[in-house]
Amino acid sequence: MAIKQKSAAETKAQDLGLALARIAESEGIPANIGVDQLRRASPRLTPLAVGQMVRKHLDIVEAVLAERGLTLVEYADQGPGRGMEFVIAEAA
């Protein structure tokens, strides 16, 4: 069975999930994570990229978090220039 090559968007969604998990694990859970924290963790995760990954590949982000025993409780996007926030908690 051939392994399907991931698209750049799928890889970025995986990066987003990993960055969220690392930040949450280092800051304590539950964690409120803003886009500025994500940018410090991974400069590739621009606000535009983050928004696109959540809209297009939320399933990948959630799968990566689940592998680490975490879950995405809430995602809020206040619009350009206003910020984004993720709430990460332990999976039940």
What is the reported pLDDT for 2? 62
What is the reported pLDDT for 41? 86
What is the reported pLDDT for 80? 60
Per-residue confidence band for 19, with pLDDT thresholds at 50, 70 and 90: very high
CA gap 5, 49 in Å, rounded: 20
What is the reported pLDDT for 1? 57
Closest CA to 45 of 63, 70, 22, 26: 22
CA gap 91, 72 in Å, rounded: 9
Q: What is the pLDDT of residues 20-78, one digit of tens each?
A: 999 999 988 899 988 888 888 888 888 888 888 888 899 999 999 999 999 999 888 87
> Which strands sit side by side in the sheet containing 84-90, from one edge to the other?
31-34, 84-90, 70-77
For residue 79, pLDDT beyond 70: no
CA gap 26, 1 in Å, rounded: 38
What domains are defined for the chain? Answer: 8-90 (1.10.10)
